[in-house]
Chains A and B, each alone.
Chain A
Amino acid sequence: MAMSANADFKTRLQTWLPKLVLSPSLAMVLVFVYGFILFSVYLSFTDSRLLPSFGWVGWENYSKLWRLSHWEISLKNMGVFALLYIGICTVLGLSLAIFLDQKIRAEGLIRTIYLYPMALSFIVTGTAWKWFLDPGIGLENVMQSWGWVNFEFDWIKNRDFAIYTVVLAAVWQTSGFVMAMFLAGLRGIDNEILKAAQMDGASNWNLYRRIIIPQLRPAFLSAFVILSHLAIKTFDLVIALTGGGPGRATELPATFMYSYTFSRNQMGIGAASATIMLMTIAAIMIPYLYAELREKK
């Protein structure tokens, strides 16, 4: 009798244990992510300035937000930045992975060289690139001193081009990581299919286009998640590289949000911008996650 009760308890424990193990993580996420998101959404309807306060002001913060040209600039920059950053990283990462997959000598060394930027913090990257791109002391100066007197590269000082230098530094930092993800995907592809196709006389170009790249779909999706997460969070890099300038030309939503919440003591507007950003992220990510997770069932 005692034994069976014990066994009964054990079985029940076994059925509950998985959920029990998962619950601390879930609890943390519910409180520290979703709880905080709700809090932030609530703040966006209040008159919070220096610290959170709870005077309800309705949509006022949102209407102020949309009157700020500054906010529009940061949204536009986000669009340009995210598109180019994700696009270039993906194309470059895939190309380099394909090249590196051709039985290259010293592959390990080259891979390490491509990967190491990911190890550096954006503060370090930003500072190094700021130097390198500065026309007065960096590339332009060096090229001119080497005899190319007409060489010009002043993007970082140019209002219309500065955002591209942010793209450049960000691509430099993460494209190697994306390359590694694609390389891993390429190595997992079954060679028998390729050999069969080669027998049929398919060119290399067609092999990649028709057979290999379609099989890399999971790698594309992982790369997309990682890259979009990094794009959204790009903050330190802008601060270190351009400080949001020239003027406000390289402001991104993350720097906007930080500046209104903390430097300008307009926490309500900062929270409103955060809410809009979160909704945008959700609008993009939820359909993707939904499609991705459904398939696995």
Chain B
Amino acid sequence: MRSFLKTKTAIVLALSVTAGTASADGHGGVEVLHWWTSGGEAAALNVLKEDLEGQGIGWTDMPVAGGGGEQAMTVLRARVTAGNAPTAVQGLGFDIIDWAEQGALANLNDVAAAENWDAVIPAALQRFAKVNGEWVSAPVNVHSTNWVWANKSVLDANGIAVPETWDDFVAAMSTLKAAGITPIAHGGQAWQEATVFDGVAMSVLGPDGYKAAFIDLDESVLGGDGMKEAFDRMALIRENVDDNFSGRDWNLATSMVINGEAGFQMMGDWAKGEFLNAGKVPGEDFLCFRFPGTSEQVTFNADQFMMFDQGGAVSDQQAALATAILSPSFQSAFNVVKGSVPARTDVSDEAFDACGKKGMADLAAAASSGNLFGSMAHGHANPASVKNAIYDVVTAHFNGEYDSATAVEELVDAVSIAQ
């Protein structure tokens, strides 16, 4: 009995002590929830940490990897529900808008005004950082998803030029197949199939159709002939991947291109890091180009840091963090490592390689010509529920569960249930 009582008192004591320290935590610095735990990303983020520490602001690291941030979003929900939100949280697209509409985010308008964010950040991106006239998050980068990566020596050896149109691409695939090379390196995970679908749908439907289908969720376009054509093209791509694609991580698919086992991969610009890590040079060993038929469009997704309202307690630190994130030097340093391009369009492209320079030029051009669209596959075209409903149909079709006609019907149905 005595020992039982002792444990009980010990718990009560410990509880009160830890509760005290927990609430004191957070005032001296920022707590950052993120999912950048791989070597390069973490090193880049460390630049930010050191910058803040130079200003006397502590950094409490809260890394939770997995599922492209899904795991971190679950943790975030638990933290907010417990009344214990981190000061800054890595976030994507509609998640940011959702949190802003819950009233959970801090207002960064003062920083934004001082740093002139309105002028230097593309409007399409502002849509996900500025909600109801309030800046609520600091964009770190812009990824674009309609890239194709190719092994140059494989293409050269088979006499293939960079395909400009879908027909070129089909011809290139059959040439490679005949030569015994896997035409498309692909990893069979729902989001990767959706990433391919981003480019395919953009090239079939054009920018207006893409916007109508994925941003406005127009049922006539979602269920239209263009969409069926897009699914037919996905089926053709399916025939040009190897038998073993299912469940493969995207970076293993990239290795197939690097090693010359496969010709092309449709993947976002983060794939570049894999080529660079393997000691490959853009333009010489590998090529980066837009998915055939989408050379003027950019489908993007952007990593940002949402600032959670702490009852005003740490707003100075949040402002300092936001300023540091948007500083041209960090934007350049981080994005050179990450493969993406800076979120502000006035950063010098000097430090970037050929693909990075092209990405920055494409982004600026697309932003000014109205060709910059949020990526459906990466949660920048529609909310998570709709995005995943589209994933379900795209992945089921890619895995042979639906034919194209059924897929179109299912797509309309799934999107309507998800809204």
> Which residues of A are at the interface with B, using a C-beta cutoff of 8 A?
49-51, 64, 67-70, 130, 134-136, 154, 156-157, 159, 242-243, 245-249, 259, 262-266
Mostly, the A contact residues are: loop
Contact: B247 with A262, CB < 8 Å?
no
Chain B residue with the shortest CB-CB distance to A266: B385
Q: Tell me the minimal C-beta distance from B147 to chain A in angstroms.
A: 23
Q: Tell me the minimal C-beta distance from A19 to chain B in angstroms.
A: 16
Whole-angstrom distance between the alpha carbons of A70 and B99 in the complex? 27
Give 1 or 0 for each of B36-49: 1 = CB within 8 Å of chain A CB. Answer: 00000000000000
Whether a CB of chain A sits under 8 angstroms from the CB of B113 is no
Whole-angstrom distance between the alpha carbons of A246 and B242 in the complex? 14
Known: A51-B77, A159-B401. A263 touches B244 (CB 8 A): no
Give me 22 A-to-B residue pairs in the complex whose CB atoms sit less than 8 angstroms apart, sorted by A's number: A49-B385, A50-B99, A51-B80, A130-B247, A134-B244, A134-B247, A154-B243, A157-B246, A157-B247, A159-B400, A159-B401, A245-B188, A246-B188, A247-B396, A247-B399, A249-B399, A262-B73, A262-B77, A264-B418, A265-B98, A265-B383, A265-B385
Give 1 or 0 for each of B75-98: 1 = CB within 8 Å of chain A CB. Answer: 001001100000000000000001
Whether a CB of chain A sits under 8 angstroms from the CB of B388 is yes
Give 1 or 0 for each of B48-90: 1 = CB within 8 Å of chain A CB. Answer: 0000000000000000000100100110010011000000000
| CB under 8 Å from chain A, chain B span 378-419 | 383-385, 388-389, 392, 395-396, 398-401, 410, 413-414, 417-418
4 smallest CB-CB distances across A and B, nearest first, come from A247-B399, A157-B246, A246-B246, A136-B244
Chain A residue with the shortest CB-CB distance to B71: A262
Q: Tell me the minimal C-beta distance from B70 to chain A in angstroms.
A: 5
Q: Tell me the minimal C-beta distance from B409 to chain A in angstroms.
A: 12
Contact: B102 with A156, CB < 8 Å?
no
Q: Tell me the minimal C-beta distance from A269 to chain B in angstroms.
A: 9
Contact: B399 with A263, CB < 8 Å?
no
Whether a CB of chain A sits under 8 angstroms from the CB of B189 is yes
Whole-angstrom distance between the alpha carbons of A126 and B336 in the complex? 35
Whether a CB of chain A sits under 8 angstroms from the CB of B326 is no
Mostly, the B contact residues are: helix
Contact: A263 with B383, CB < 8 Å?
no
Whether a CB of chain A sits under 8 angstroms from the CB of B190 is yes
Chain A residue with the shortest CB-CB distance to B396: A247
Whole-angstrom distance between the alpha carbons of A135 and B389 in the complex? 30
Q: Return chain A residues, CB-CB under 8 Å to B398.
A: 247
Q: Tell me the minimal C-beta distance from B69 to chain A in angstroms.
A: 10
Q: Return chain B residues, CB-CB under 8 Å to A69.
A: 410
Q: Return chain B residues, CB-CB under 8 Å to A70.
A: 392
Q: Tell me the minimal C-beta distance from B33 to chain A in angstroms.
A: 15
Point out which of A70, A247, A259 has the most chain B C-beta atoms below 10 A from its C-beta. A247
Point out which of A50, A134, A135, A249 has the most chain B C-beta atoms below 10 A from its C-beta. A50
Contact: B417 with A67, CB < 8 Å?
yes
Chain B residue with the shortest CB-CB distance to A64: B417
Contact of A264 among B102, B243, B384, B413 (CB under 8 A): B384
Known: A50-B77, A247-B401, A249-B399. A157 touches B244 (CB 8 A): yes
Q: Return chain B residues, CB-CB under 8 Å to A135.
A: 243-244
Whole-angstrom distance between the alpha carbons of A157 and B248 in the complex? 10
Contact: B395 with A245, CB < 8 Å?
yes
Chain A residue with the shortest CB-CB distance to B387: A264
Q: Tell me the minimal C-beta distance from A170 to chain B in angstroms.
A: 17
Whole-angstrom distance between the alpha carbons of A192 and B418 in the complex? 66
Whole-angstrom distance between the alpha carbons of A156 and B188 in the complex? 12
Q: Return chain A residues, CB-CB under 8 Å to B189.
A: 243, 245
Chain A residue with the shortest CB-CB distance to B388: A264
Q: Return chain A residues, CB-CB under 8 Å to B413.
A: 67
Whole-angstrom distance between the alpha carbons of A69 and B407 in the complex? 13
Give 1 or 0 for each of B238-260: 1 = CB within 8 Å of chain A CB. Answer: 00000111110000000000000
Whole-angstrom distance between the alpha carbons of A125 and B99 in the complex? 36
Q: Return chain A residues, CB-CB under 8 Å to B99.
A: 50
Whole-angstrom distance between the alpha carbons of A249 and B385 in the complex? 20
Whole-angstrom distance between the alpha carbons of A64 and B102 in the complex? 24
Whole-angstrom distance between the alpha carbons of A266 and B387 in the complex? 12
Q: Return chain A residues, CB-CB under 8 Å to B190.
A: 245, 247-248
Q: Tell me the minimal C-beta distance from A255 to chain B in angstroms.
A: 12
Q: Return chain A residues, CB-CB under 8 Å to B102.
A: 50-51
